[in-house]
Amino acid sequence: MNQPAAPRTEVTKREFFRAAAGCVCAMGAFGVMGMAGVARGQSARLGWAGAHRSRWFTKLDRSLVRCDLCPRHCELAPGQRGPCRVRENRAGQGYSLAFGNPALLQVDPIERKPFFHVLPGTQALSISTAGCNLACKFCEVWDMAQVAPEDVFAYEVTPEVVIEQAHEAHARAISYAFGEPVVFYEYMEAVARLARRAELPNLLHSAGYIAPEPLRELCPLIDAANIDFKSFDPAFYRDVCGGELEPVLDTLRELKAAGVHLEITHIVIPTLNDDPEKTRAMCRWIRSELGPEVPLHFARFYPLYKLANLPPTPVRTLDRAREIAMEEGLEYVYVARVTGHEGENTFCPNCREPVIRRLGFVVEEVRLKDGCCPDCGHAIPGRWS
């Protein structure tokens, strides 16, 4: 197979300002809407909107309950919360403290999720709340995901208002992203049902740490999912993320089997998950278990949170990871967070001609015709309209 040209490492002035303009546009959309606008003139406040009864709890005795939402299956005594910080036993009943209480609600490019095979060049309304059921040491939104709801400024926003605001902002989809959607499952489900009626696609960006039954119920509501596949090493999941690998593999299989458009993001962290042979093993698993057509994004790590002592990922490491993935037969392999890299573009796996050109979050050209390569007619998987 012919390989695309070597990635560029320099960006022209025109490209730099074009990318900057795209970021300004995204911020502008957020500014017009504004968190206060979304919340109908509210002021942000610490705390949660209220406790919402959850059906994803099993009563074990008079007072003890078990949360069935994620693989942890936490058993909680009255007044106790799970490690996610937003699911609580109140007098022997299970509640969510995240419903209708977003700590983030903003409009930005779909490419930022990242989705490269979904409605290119459009914008989505993203929502997230406090809390997460993993404890990744490289968490990029740790000040929202690794805290309790009473420790973050948030708003009261009903599912109905989320849909109204999406229409007012001319968003083309609803995205459950930035924080971990699994922990605000009930809120996501309520919004997703309304979005389905409003013909707004539902986009999920998650770590995929969810139990099988709630995932199966969610799949019919989700149009596309991007799962953070943090490592193919079980020890990495335990030591760096505070979780297990196998449930994430199950989630990936289930999403694919359910017909949800699937993309994968893999953050490459120097010294921790950048071993080429483990990257190769991961790519082989993706190809054999999910299919060669599943897009894979290799994302650059930047030092932050508990891994601030590590350097940013060298671009050459990302280049090698992309080469390995293509050697293993993956057809759509991207490099994220390196503006101007050849790996931001989508190439037809049949004739190797570019079909979508990107610069950062800016989509410069979409050459697809009815979801196919205009040069050879090869069908490119995705949600294009």
Q: Are residues 91 and 157 in the same domain?
A: no
For residue 261, pLDDT beyond 80: yes
What is the mean pLDDT of the segment spanning 162-170? 96
Residue 44 has pLDDT above 80, yes or no: no
Give mean pLDDT, residues 257-264: 98
Average the pLDDT over 135-142 and give the result: 97
DSSP reduced 3-state for 205: strand
d(CA 295, CA 226): 9
Decide if 5 is inside a domain.
no
Residue 141 has pLDDT above 50, yes or no: yes
Q: Are 171 and 194 in the same domain?
A: yes
Q: Is residue 380 a part of any domain in this protein?
A: no
C-beta separation of 90 from 79 below 8 A:
yes
Q: Are residues 72 and 197 in the same domain?
A: no
Give yes or no: residues 223 and 190 share one domain.
yes
pLDDT of residue 302: 97
Q: How far is 183 from 69, CA to CA, in rounded Å?
A: 8
- For residue 385, what pLDDT is reported? 84
Predicted confidence (pLDDT) at residue 13 exceeds the cutoff of 70? no
Residue 360 and residue 288 share a domain: yes
Q: Tens digit of pLDDT for each residue in 55-106? A: 999 999 989 999 999 999 999 999 999 999 999 999 999 999 999 999 999 9
Q: Assess if residue 167 is contained within a domain.
A: yes
Q: How remote is the C-alpha of 207 from its chain's centroid?
A: 7
Do 211 and 80 lie in a common domain? no
Per the CB < 8 A criterion, the answer to whether 138 and 269 are in contact is: yes
Domain co-membership, 20 together with 55: no
Same domain, 225 and 328: yes
The confidence band for 41, taking pLDDT boundaries of 50, 70 and 90, is low
Amino acid at position 98, single letter: A
In this model, does residue 363 exceed pLDDT 80?
yes
What's the chain's Rg over C-alpha atoms? 21
Same domain, 213 and 89: no
- pLDDT beyond 80 at 223: yes
Q: With 80 as the cut, is the pLDDT of residue 52 above it?
A: yes
Higher pLDDT, 3 or 91: 91
Range of the domain at 55: 45-96
- The tally of domains found in the chain comes to 2
- Under the banding of pLDDT at 50, 70 and 90, the label for residue 21 is very low
Residue 166: pLDDT over 70: yes
Is position 213 within any domain?
A: yes
Distance (Å, whole) CA 29 – CA 125: 10
Amino acid type, 133: N
Is the per-residue pLDDT at 35 higher than 50?
no
Residue 102 contacts residue 183 (beta carbons within 8 Å): no
Per-residue confidence (pLDDT) for residue 42, from 0 to 100: 62
DSSP letters along 33-70, please? H-HHHHTTTPPPEES-S--EE-SSEEE-SSS-EEE-SS
Same domain, 80 and 155: no
Q: Are 315 and 10 in contact (CB under 8 A)?
A: no
CATH code at position 162? 3.20.20.70
Query: 287 pLDDT exceeds 50?
Result: yes
In a domain, 375, yes or no: no
Does the pLDDT value for residue 244 go beyond 50?
Answer: yes
Residue 166, domain member (yes or no): yes
**Residue percentage of the chain with pLDDT more than 70:** 88
Task: Tell me, yes or no, whether 238 and 152 share the same domain.
Answer: yes
Q: What is the mean pLDDT of the chain?
A: 90
Strands 354-359 and 346-347: antiparallel
pLDDT per residue over 301-324, tens digit each?
999 999 999 999 999 999 999 999
Q: What is the pLDDT of residue 228?
A: 98
Q: Is residue 376 part of a domain?
A: no
